[in-house]
């Protein structure tokens, strides 16, 4: 069973929205990158599909929330994995994808946040991986992203 997900599409800044829709399939995996789910050495944390328009950001969060005290104030922070993506369809039909992936956890009561940013231009149908955590082989966490064209109206 996957944890609760929050899926949202928001207006991207700095890019002209078009009517071209982009399907983004995301797979967040934890475990041994050389292993497999069948062997029990990998676990799918979540597997959302997002649809957004060129020039509009899409993001999701998987995990939960935790109340913490910082500077004498109590606030709620997200714990788990979050990915924000901004696809922009180029004139040549390729997709420029800006991605920010974050993982927030607690270790001995201290908040640990890892953030990875990536910008790349890809063709539709491309799948790529972005590593978030590289601890012991069985505790690695990474994001696999596949970009597809989705016909929109």
Q: pLDDT by residue (tens digit) across 73-106?
A: 999 988 888 889 999 998 888 899 998 888 888 8
Contact 67, 127 (CB under 8 A): no
Buried b (16+ CB within 10 A) or exposed e, 58-86: bbbbbbeeeeeeeeeeeeeebbbbbbbbb
pLDDT of amino acid 80: 87
Per cent of the chain over pLDDT 70 is 82
Note the pLDDT tens digit of each residue in 100-119.
888 888 877 778 888 888 88
Beta strand ranges found along the chain (DSSP E): 5-11, 21-31, 42-46, 49-53, 56-70, 73-89, 95-107, 110-122, 127-133, 140-150
* Token pair recorded at residue 44: 């799918």
Residue range 5-48, pLDDT digits in tens: 333 334 334 444 456 889 989 888 888 888 888 998 888 888 99
């Amino acid at each position: 069973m996957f944890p609760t997900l929050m899926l949202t599409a928001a207006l991207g800044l700095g890019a002209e929205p078009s009517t071209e829709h982009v399907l983004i399939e995301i797979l967040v995996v934890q475990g041994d990158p050389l292993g497999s789910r069948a062997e029990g050495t990998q676990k799918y944390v979540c597997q959302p599909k997002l649809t957004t328009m060129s020039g509009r950001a899409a993001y999701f969060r998987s995990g939960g929330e935790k109340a913490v005290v910082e500077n004498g104030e109590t606030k709620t922070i997200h714990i788990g994995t979050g990915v924000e993506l901004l696809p922009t369809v180029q004139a040549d039909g390729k997709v420029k994808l800006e991605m920010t992936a974050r993982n927030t956890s607690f270790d001995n009561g201290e908040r640990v946040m890892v953030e990875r940013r990536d910008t790349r231009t890809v063709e539709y149908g491309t799948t790529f991986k972005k590593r978030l955590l590289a601890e012991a082989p069985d505790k690695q966490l990474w994001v696999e992203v596949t970009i597809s064209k989705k016909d929109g109206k």
